[in-house]
Structure 1
Amino acid sequence: MKKLSNHLKRRAFCVLSAFALLAVSGPAALAASGYPDRPITIVVGYPAGGSVDLNGRVVADTLARKIGAKVVVENLGGAGGTIGAQKVIRAKPDGYTLLVGSLNEIVIASLVNPAVKYNGVTDLQAIGLIGDQPLVLAASKKTDIRNTADLVKVATSGKSENYSYGSSGVGTSLHMAGEMVNAETRAKFLHVPYRGVAPLVTDLTSGRLPLGVFALSSALPQIQSGQITAIGVTSAKRSAFASDIPALAENPALKAMDISVWFGLFGPKDMPEAVVKKLQTSLQQVLADPQFQEKYRATGSNVMREQPDLAAFFQAEHNKFKKLAETAHIATGRP
């Protein structure tokens, strides 16, 4: 009986210790212990077929295999990706609702649109960057701009206000790239916002629009077919996917040009630390997967295997685009 009594005491001690551990670690430990045990939803704040959607779908396919759960993509387009971002910000922070987001809705939107009430850097939990893609400045065949030297000549001639450039909308990274050309050369190229890439391409190929800024993957078919002329990519260096296109920064007058659209995986803030770590580990496995890399590079983007210090990276991006938005007079004054 004495042995039985000691055994029961030990069992009671173990049970009490377990409850004590749960009391200290709280609900977060309970939520993370079996994660994931049901499907994960990746929200994409754009319609199907765009660059952010392609990122979401390629990541979802491989993430499902790495993390051991079904991963579905939900397209929630509207307001430049901000509707999708807001859904994830408001979601339960349990790791089952995530966002594949881009530079536009994470950093730029809150700087240029007073209707955007969230801060993508502080109101979302960054899990990691997926990749990036440069933009490209292209010209109509009917304009006299054929290269960066021609562009700078027009920009510094005092006649730049006679030229316009198109983008996919006010406050987008494409718009910002055009305004950075203006800022660096003190030019006055007029911005013309379009609703999507298709009408922009139509006007550029027809000659109604002199210049246009695109995601590189969106412009390559027209560039390669000779319908439009590539002036230069907006990243600091040439793209490995189109190494024959110079970087605008190769011209001394545009040496500060360095804008790329990046894509990342995010979740609501206040997710359990164990869930965040599981997602970060799984994302790194995705980025290292050869099949993923092949599919991802086919979209014209670079895989970001080496992750920067995310806090420093987002702060630098915020500072860069805040300054640019103020220079272009499209800032809201948000700190």
Structure 2
Amino acid sequence: MRFTPVHIQSFLSMALATGLVSLAHAQTEAYPDRPVTVVVGYPPGGSTDLTGRAVADQLSKKLGVPVIVENVGGAGGAIGAHKVSRATPDGYTLLLGANNEIAINRLISTSVKYSYKDFTPIGLVASTPMVLVASTQSGIKTADQFVSTVKAKPGKYIYGSSGVGTALHLSAEMAKQQAGLFMSHIPYRGVGPLTTDLYGGTVDFGVYVLSSGLSHIRSGKVVALGITEKKRSAVAPDIAPLADHPALSNMDISVWFALMAPPNLPEAVTARLRRALAESLQTPEFRKKMEDSGSTVAPLNVEMGKFLMDETAKYQKIVEFANIKE
């Protein structure tokens, strides 16, 4: 048979394609063969950073390579999340994110160009409830008093959170929506300024992540009215869920953390990471770190696609109710 230039070109194209497929397969089979970076969209020291470092430590042991945390702060976690959504899908750049940057930010800001669909979900890591507290000067000590007092004087009371559109802000708006309450919101730049104004009675109510609020609750400087999840927390079983009140029976919102990868991650790499994460979540060392921080380790059977869709739909309803836009 006589080979024409067309035959030769076709043969070379097939050989090149086969070579590239083989190379990609070999790279996938070798994964990981160098350090992995876990991006955290906040500065060091917060709950997302703590969770990210605990996950990275365990993943390093399970994957057999260094797993490095990179803090990329800014825009409520959106800068770090955006970076990962555009990263090469090879398994070497991951995101340890919370619901704010993964699901909420896109709903409130037109400047956020990605959504939860722009990631390959590896798995849910942990969740932590928030807690609604009252200033001691308000005289309010129970969820029942909170609902009846605020309802009786619409517009009189003020609550604070750590920022517009955060999960803490949305949890209070969820309570307002369910119980038919009207309160004004003051956003703060972190827990410190909010705590100062609660102590001084400048604001009547506030929302903390449970781990951040416990020391203030235990010291008697603020009064816990209830946690935002339907079940009691193991770290503070004496604080009842807000959902125990009939007017707040559908209250169930938390801060959750998930491990995400760029879109179009190869199936073999995705499976390797999911297996490593599942093994990490079951280690006693990791579980203790999460429990000590007030978090609950996620179950292993969470179907992430449905979870993210349901959570985003829940936040969308609250955002529309509160008319939150940046």
Q: 1:151 aligns with which of 140, 146, 152?
A: 146
The aligned runs of 1:216-231 (5 Å cut-off) are 216-231=210-225
Residue equivalent to 1:279: 273
Q: What's the CA shift string for 1:270-296, capped at 9, x where partnerless?
A: 111111110000000100111111122
Q: In structure 1, what is the Cα distance between the partners aligned to 2:133 and 2:228?
A: 11
Aligned to 1:47: 43
Counterpart of 1:200 in structure 2 is 194
Partner Cα distance (2:62, 2:17) in 1 = 29
Q: 1:27, 1:166 → 2: CA distance?
A: 55
Residues 1:241 and 2:220 are matched in the alignment: no
**Matching residue of 1:33:** 29
Is the 1:88–1:97 contact (alpha carbons within 8 Å) kept by the matching residues of 2? yes
Alignment check: 8 A CA contact 1:80 1:105 kept: yes
- TM-score of the aligned structures, taking structure 1 as reference length: 0.90
Q: Let me know the Cα RMSD of the aligned residues.
A: 1.6
Residues 89 and 265 of structure 2 are in contact (CA less than 8 Å); yes or no, is this contact kept in structure 1? yes
Residue 187 in 1 paired to residue 208 in 2?
no
1:328 and 1:130, CA in 2 relative to 1: closer, same or farther beyond 3 A? same
CA distances 1:100-145 after superposition (whole Å, capped 9, x unpaired): 00111111100011111111x2101110000100000011100021
Displacement of 1:331 in angstroms is: 5.3
Contact 1:138 1:230 in 2 (8 A): yes
The reply to whether residue 250 of structure 1 matches residue 250 of structure 2 is no
Say whether the 8 Å CA contact 2:278–2:300 is kept in structure 1.
no
Instruction: Give the TM-score of the pair, scaled to structure 2.
Output: 0.92
Secondary structure, aligned partner of 1:245: coil
Task: State the Cα deviation string for residues 232-259 of structure 1 (Å, max 9, x = none).
Answer: 0000121111010010000000001000
Partners of 1:22 and 1:29 within 8 A in 2: no
Task: Give how far 1:26 is off.
Answer: 5.8
CA positional deviation for 1:30:
3.1
The secondary structure found in structure 2 opposite 1:314 is helix
Q: Distance in 2 between matches of 1:260 and 1:281?
A: 25
User: Following the alignment from structure 2 to structure 1, what is the Cα–Cα distance between the partners of residues 21 and 150?
Assistant: 61
- Does the 8 Å CA contact 1:322/1:331 hold for their aligned counterparts? no
Partner of 2:58 in structure 1?
62
Residue 293 (structure 1) aligns with? 287
Q: What is the aligned partner in structure 2 of residue 123 from structure 1?
A: 118
- Is contact 2:147-2:179 (8 Å) kept? yes
1:323 aligns with 2:309: no
Q: 1:25 Cα shift?
A: 4.7
Structure 1 CA distance for aligned equivalents of residues 140 and 24 of structure 2: 58
Q: Report the secondary structure of 1:162's partner residue.
A: coil
CA distance in 1, matches of 2:247, 2:127: 24
> CA separation of 1:161/1:29 partners in 2, compared to 1, >3 Å: closer, same or farther?
same
Are the aligned partners of 1:127 and 1:266 in contact in 2 as well (CA < 8 Å)?
yes
Give the share of equivalent positions with the same residue, in percent: 47
Q: State the AA in 2 paired with 1:233.
A: I
Residue 135 (structure 1) aligns with: 130
Runs of 4+ residues deviating >2 angstroms:
19-28
On the 8 A contact 1:29/1:274 being kept in 2, the answer is no
Distance 1:46 1:288 in 2: 26
- Alpha carbons of structure 1 residues 313 and 27: separation in structure 2 relative to 1, 3 Å: farther
**Consecutive unaligned residues in structure 2, runs of 5 or more:** 1-14
1:131 match: secondary structure = strand
Aligned length: 312
1:205 CA drift (Å) = 1.6
Pairing of 1:77-92 with structure 2 (within 5 A) = 77-92=73-88
SS at 1:61 equivalent: helix
Give the gaps of 5 or more residues in structure 1: 1-18
Larger mean Cα displacement after TM superposition, 148-157 or 26-35: 26-35
Q: Is the 8 A contact 1:179 1:324 kept in 2?
A: yes
SS of the residue corresponding to residue 122 of structure 1 reads helix
- Secondary structure, in 3 states, of the residue corresponding to 1:161? coil
Give the conservation status (yes or no) of the 8 Å contact 2:235–2:292: no
